[in-house]
Structures are given as C-alpha cells and as structure tokens.
Structure 1
C-alpha cells in the first residue's frame, strides 16, 4: 500500500541516515529557495495576495521573507505568501525528470510551522523534514508522469501539497497512522491547472500547495482522519489525476532501496520555463561572439532555433504581453539572450517584454521542432548582414544547457544568483548575512533565527 509505505518511510527517516550528498543537496535547495522567495517578495502577485488577505490573518508567528522591517503573519498565510514569492519569477529549483519545482511548497510550509512552534527546531531536524517532503512529492510525481502533466495538471502544486504534508508531519513527529491521514488530507486538496501559466495564478499554485499540506498535517496531528489508502485507491489520488500510474513502484524505490530524488534537483540560471534555457544559453554565446566580431544585433536578418518538442508546447507564445507571459516565450528568451547577453528577472519585467527593440529581435526568431533533440539541447543558426552587404552565419549547438545535471550551477553561481535577487530587497550587508546563514543551515540550533537575517 503506497500511502502506508510512504508514511512508514517518513516516520523512520533520520538525519543520520542521510548521505552527505543528500544533505548538501538539501542545503543548496533551501539556499536557492530563500533567494527566490526574497526576490519575489515584492512582485505584484505576492503583494496583491498579501493585501487581499491581510484582514483574515491570525496571530503573527511566521516570517514573510524579504518583507520590509519585521513582518510576521500566521503560519497558514506565511506558507501561502512565501510559496507564491518563491515561484513567481520561475527561478526556482527543478526536478528534471518530472519538472516539479519541489522546494517551494515544502520549504514554505516547513519554515512557517517551524517558526510557529513553542519548541526549538534545529537545522538538522529541518533538513530531515525537507528531504522527506521533497522525496515524497517527487516519487508520487514520477508515479503519474507524464500523463498527469500532459492532461493539464500543474505537477508542482498537485504533488506539492503531499510533499508539504509529509515534511510537516515529520517535523511534528506524527505517528505513521497520523502521517498517512495527513497524506490523504493533502491528496484530496489537488491544486493547479496548466491553463493558468502566464498569470498570477501560476505562482499561487505552490503557495496554496504549501498551505494545503500544512493544513493537512496540522489536522492529522489532532487525529483528524482521511483514507489511509488515499494515494493508491481505485478512486484515490493517482487514479483520479492520471490515466496510468507506477505509484507502487516509485514508493518502493524510496531510498535506500532506490535513488534520492533531491540529489537530482537542478537550479535555474534563467527565470523562465526550463525548456527555454538551451535557447537562452545558445543566444548568450552568440551575443558574446557578436561582441568579439564587432557586430550588432540590429544586423540580424533571421534566427533559426531547432528545439525539443516541449519547447513550443510549453513556451510557444510569440507575442507575450507582459513579464509573466514572457517566461513562456522561447522567442523572448532568445531575444534577451541575443540583446543583453543574459536573462535575469530584470529581463522579464513588463517594460522589457514590450520594448520595441526586444520585440523587433523577437520577431526575427523562428523555432522549429527536432524530435531527435533532448530537452536540454538545441541548435541555433543566426544570419547577419554586415554593413558592406556580406552575409555572415553564426551557429551554436548547446548539448546540455547550463543548470542541467550535466552542467550544474556551482555554489559560486548560486551565490551570484542569490545576491542578485536579494540586494535590491535587503541591501548589501543584510544580503551577505542572509547568504551565510542559509549556507550554515545544518549548524543552526534554532531555525527561527532566520528572522534576524531574512
């Protein structure tokens, strides 16, 4: 029985059983999540949600990361708001086999409840619970991939509530039976439709998943019941949200029987749909060669990009109207790579998406499907016309995009990403302290001290 097996595995997991690379992966995942959450804290999707729901908040216990001054809200709303902020720039981590962004729902719920408890939560306890949650959501995601995603579910949130429930159950030391009930309570709160991509609601999904998972575990802690076969039953989660599933096999492959999924986590160098990353990577290389050759992007005649089929399915918006839609436009990603030689949240602001020069370059890009390409691979051909009328062609083949498991982001690159997002919000000194605090997560005796830096 998948639900019982997952609950049993969760209650038996200990920090000492985590391999060193898994602990490192958890710290890197938390570090990346914290930077993304601070970076997204002032986005309209986050601020509108906070404004709309502020009058419904309970006694303040939990920190809103990146907020000006010391701003706390109740744990349920902290999980929601931090979850929204963590995902709104599409800059968060990615489990590449399922394209789940796993840390957002789990860490947002986990930190919110850890801060609300009267007892101290150590960094080791926090990491153990974080790993439990990420493993749970990725394993159930693998169990229904790809049918679940193909039919239209946003897999980050539809699995994220389960991951958040498992993580909080672990932190609260719930029994195996209580954890099984929490999983069922989370599974019945299925959240997230792909139709919402390109709007504020996309980032609402992981926030709501964090909130749903937290709610599930809190109810279960008081012996609120659900089905104890909520994942695998005939009318349970897996069979309702997918036309086929391998749920039992995936749950049975929980480490140490199988691999640790958190060790497969990748981090985004660009704040957009991950299938666009090879194109941006290639266009940045073209930009660098243009600079060496003394050519201008204005001399581009056309750009041909050969891409994996998912690129046009997920990011085929030719004329995005704002920054959120720009994240789902391979054409915008290519244009900013060519024009700026980079793609950070600044290149996805509304004013950049509608800038006439960006639009002009975007209109010169054509993308075609090549079934033989992997999802992290692309081929780009750029035709230029020099001032003397001579035509010049530059070709770039990206075998594995930066940020893939084959070309992972280094710690130094993660720091650069963290600092780039946090300094505008926190300032230089506070950002440096926050960065070090997050790297030292395992060493902290009381994770509630995060309030002093973030």
Structure 2
C-alpha cells in the first residue's frame, strides 16, 4: 500500500462500486454513532468542549449535535466527536484495534453539503472505514502496544480521507492532505479513563477536516507520507509493521472483520468478561454474598486497555474489569448509570471488586476486547462455575438484533431530543441510503425546544 494507491482509491472509487450491503452496514454504524453522540452531548467532556467553541465565537454555520449551538465546521467536528466518544459506547473495528465511526461521522457531517445524497455520504464513510482498517493492519499491534491510541492516530487519516472525498479533492490534493494530517497525528492510551481520551477522538475529527480544507486551498504536506523513510509507517510502527496489506475492498473492511457494536457503555476489553459473568450469575442463581472470587482470563494483551484496577471515577471505571464485573453481579446489568461517580464508590461494589482476579491465559499473538476469547470462573461457597465466551458481544458472530439497536439508539437519544423527535431522527437515518439530501437529519439532530435548524 503506497500513499498514491490510497489516494486514488478514495477519490476514484465511484459511489455505485460500493455494495448495497456495505451501505446498509454503514448506515447502521452512523445510527449507532449519532445515538451515542447525542447521549454523550450531556457529559462533562462535551459540555466543556462546547464552552470552548462558544468562547472563540467561530462562524456559526454547522450544528453541534444534541444542542442549539452552531459553530465552524472544524469545531463542530471536534465537539461532536468528543460527544460520540465520551461514553465509550461507540463501535469498534478489530483490524483498527480502535473506534472507527466517531471520527468519520463527526468530520464527515461537518464536511458534507446538506444537499449531498445519503448514498454519497455513506459511500464516503465506507471508503474512510476501509482506510482505517488497512492502516491499522499496516501499523500492526505494536503501534497500540507501544501506547498509541489508534482511534486518534489512524482516525486522523480516515477522517481526512472521508472529508477529502466529500470536498472533492483530487489525488494530488488528498496526498497533500494526508501529509498535513500526519502533522496532527497523536493520542495516548495512558489517557484512558480521563476526558482526554474523548478529546483525542475530537482532535482526530477536527484535524481530518482541517487537513482536507487546507489541501483544497493549496496547502502542502509530504505527498508520500505513508511509505517514505520517516513517514507514518516507519515512525509510528515497529519491526512488524508493513505496507504489504490486503488490497483495498478485497474484502471490504466493513465485511471482514466488520464493525462491532457495543451492548454496554464501557471499554470493549470488559465485554466478553461481562458476558461470562452475566451467563454464570443467571444460570446458577449466584448472589454477591456467595462469591469467594471471580476469575477473568485474558489472552496476551487482551486487557491492555483496562488500565484501572482501582478506579476512583466513572471514566476510570469504564476501563476496569474489577469494577464492571462487580457492578454486573450486584446490579444485574451495566448501563450508563453504572458509571455515575456515586455508583463507583458503593461499599458493596468496592468489597466485591477485591474478589475479582485477572488470570493470564496462554496464547500466540496479540489479542484485544474484539479479538480472542475469555474464560470466566466464579467461585462460591457452594462450588465453582465456569464458562468460555468465544465471541465478542456485538460482533458479527454474536450480533445485536435490530430491536437491540433500536432500543440502544432511543435509550441514548430520548432524554435529549424527546421521544417523538428521537423516533423521527431514527426513521430518517434508517432511510439514509435513499435520501436525496441530509437536511432532515441535520434538522432533527438537535432538541426541538432549543430551536429547529433550518
């Protein structure tokens, strides 16, 4: 994969070359992402980011989702991506080892003319996702294992490709845009459990938009930034990184490995463990008072993102199997409310957290919350109960149903938009493939009581 090949793929692939099933999967990803973002718009990271964009008094021509605020497109991309990632409820792509859709949707809707057809928007999304997956493969596991937050690093490039296509850049302009994007590529795993994690996603979306805009106006960057010595792969990769990745669209990343959609609003590293805990508790009628210990097995690197063993905040708790497993047992569910500050400090939860153990399991290669399997054992005063979760909840192998997805979207949006408006927005998004333009979605993405958007 050379920079020139990537640029040609993005700018030259016609919309009708993107399979209908790919568009359908992209539509579902957009629905999930916008739902997460509207809910996340009420979280502190998003509220602080909104205050920032209000303070700079930028041109008010692009909506900030879930609010009446309008700002400049790049700043809207910034805030909307922060909102989308604030709850850690957004989707994942195994080949990326990160969250693909938030930078794409936030930057893409900021760049897209409202007169753009839904099909054209979704085609650009599929192409951007393709770039995310292929660059993730090129960089390899070492990029993430060295501490880079790949949602932010590769997300900057995928957002650049989506916005570049929507701004009608030619091959040379997009190659320059990718060079500019490299100047903004950053983000660390160490920030997980803080507001800076969602900032990193917001920065990727904004940087992608700015890179494409500047390149369209004649701004230059290195036009072979992927493959030159000292370029992206050489600087951000390791000895296992390679430009020899599968050809674009053979198969499409949206098909293989496909997008994974979260059932629970926490790091995906917890999800197979949570599925195992729920299964054992329900099957055997286990009560918290019966538990001696909970053992969660992790293949190599599978708990890399779970950096908090003794979380003190709701954000830290999202990256803690100790907390998530304890909350699952005590509450019988894991919801947005599970990560309120008061919930994290409940004495009963803290006591059970002390009984949760991480157990290293042997395995060849590098695993994650969306790659591999997880063994869970609950030891009680009455016996030992164990299970293996082979498939990640929300994966193509263990998918959420259409009803699950609908419930998730409405659960995320109704408190912000109201029931009627949330259902109308969902209906508009479900019809996105055939939509003549994006106007209805832009109108409905803000609360009615704060004023309709023209």
Q: Distance in 1 between matches of 2:306 and 2:358?
A: 11
Shift, 1:289, TM fit: 2.8
Structure-2-length-normalised TM-score: 0.92
Q: 2:417 aligns with which of 417, 426, 432?
A: 426
Aligned with 2:275 (options 270, 275, 281): 281
Deviations 1:372-413 (A, max 9, x none): 49644222222333xxxxx23332322223212321222221
1:57–1:410 distance in 2 versus 1, CA, 3 Å? farther
SS in 2 for 1:266: coil
Distance in 2, matches of 1:314 and 1:4, equals 33
| Aligned twin of 1:60 | 60
Q: Does 1:393 pair with 2:389?
A: no
Which runs of structure 2 are paired with 1:74-89 in the superposition (5 Å)? 74-89=72-87
Contact 1:105 1:160 in 2 (8 A): yes
User: If the length of structure 1 is used for normalisation, what is the TM-score?
Assistant: 0.92
C-alpha contact 1:278 1:401 (8 A) present in aligned 2 = yes
| Contact 2:111-2:163 within 8 A present in 1 as well | yes
Matched, 1:241 2:232: no
Seen in structure 2, the aligned counterparts of structure 1 residues 442 and 271 have a Cα distance that, compared at 3 Å, is same
Gaps of 5+ in 2: 446-454
Question: Is contact 1:382-1:395 (8 Å) kept?
Answer: yes
1:125 aligned to 91, 113, 120, which one? Answer: 120
| Contact 1:278/1:376 (8 A) holds in 2 | no
Task: Name the CA distance, whole Å, in 1 between partners of 2:132 and 2:57.
Answer: 28
Question: Is 1:83–1:206's contact at 8 Å kept on the other side of the alignment?
Answer: yes
Residue 373 of structure 2 corresponds to 377
SS at structure 1 position matched to 2:329: helix
Aligned residue for 1:71? 69
Distance 1:336 1:311, change over 3 A: farther
CA contact (8 A) 1:165 1:217 kept: yes
Q: Paired residue for 2:161, among 163, 166, 184?
A: 166
Q: Cα 1:54–1:245, aligned 2, differ >3 Å: closer, same or farther?
A: farther
The reply on whether 1:198 has 2:193 as its aligned counterpart is yes
Q: 1:321 aligns with which of 306, 309, 312?
A: 312
- Equivalences for 1:30-429 in 2 at 5 Å? 30-67=30-67, 70-114=68-112, 117=113, 120-244=115-239, 246-250=241-245, 253-255=247-249, 258-263=250-255, 264-290=258-284, 293=285, 295-372=286-363, 375-385=371-381, 391-429=382-420
Flag structure 1 segments of 5+ consecutive residues without an equivalent: 386-390
The match for 2:451 is: none
Q: 1:388 — aligned with what?
A: none
Distance in 1 of aligned mates of 2:57 and 2:207: 16
- For the 8 Å contact 2:192–2:305, the answer to whether it is kept is no
Give the match's secondary structure for 1:414. Answer: helix
Aligned-residue offset at 1:286: 2.5
| Partner Cα distance (1:431, 1:449) in 2 | 12
Deviation at 1:245, TM superposition (A): 5.6
Measure, in 2, the Cα distance between the counterparts of 1:285 and 1:279. Answer: 10
* Equivalent-residue separation in structure 1 for 2:427 and 2:263 (angstroms): 20
Higher mean alpha-carbon deviation, 367-376 vs 99-108, is at 367-376
1:249-276, Cα deviation, whole Å (9 max, x unpaired): 22x6101xx2111221111112222121
Q: Does the 8 Å contact 1:13/1:128 carry over to 2?
A: no
CA contact (8 A) 2:63 2:71 kept: yes
Of residues 230-239 and 422-431 in structure 1, the stretch that sits farther from structure 2 once superposed is: 422-431
- C-alpha contact (below 8 Å) 2:148/2:189 kept by paired residues: yes
In structure 2, the CA distance between the partners of 1:52 and 1:301, relative to structure 1 (3 Å rule), is same
Asked whether the 8 Å contact 1:232–1:247 carries over to 2, the reply is no
Q: Alpha-carbon deviations, 1:31-62, whole Å to 9, x = none?
A: 11111111110110111121133221411111
Q: How far apart, in 2, do the equivalents of 1:20 and 1:53 lie?
A: 37
Distance 1:352 1:172 in 2: 45
Distance 1:319 1:19 in 2: 46
Whole-Å separation in 1 of the counterparts to 2:283 and 2:176: 57
Q: Find the aligned partners of 2:117 and 2:133 in 1 and give their Cα distance.
A: 25
SS at match of 1:383: strand
User: Residue 311 of structure 1 contacts residue 330 of structure 1 at CA under 8 Å; is this kept in 2?
Assistant: no
Aligned length: 438
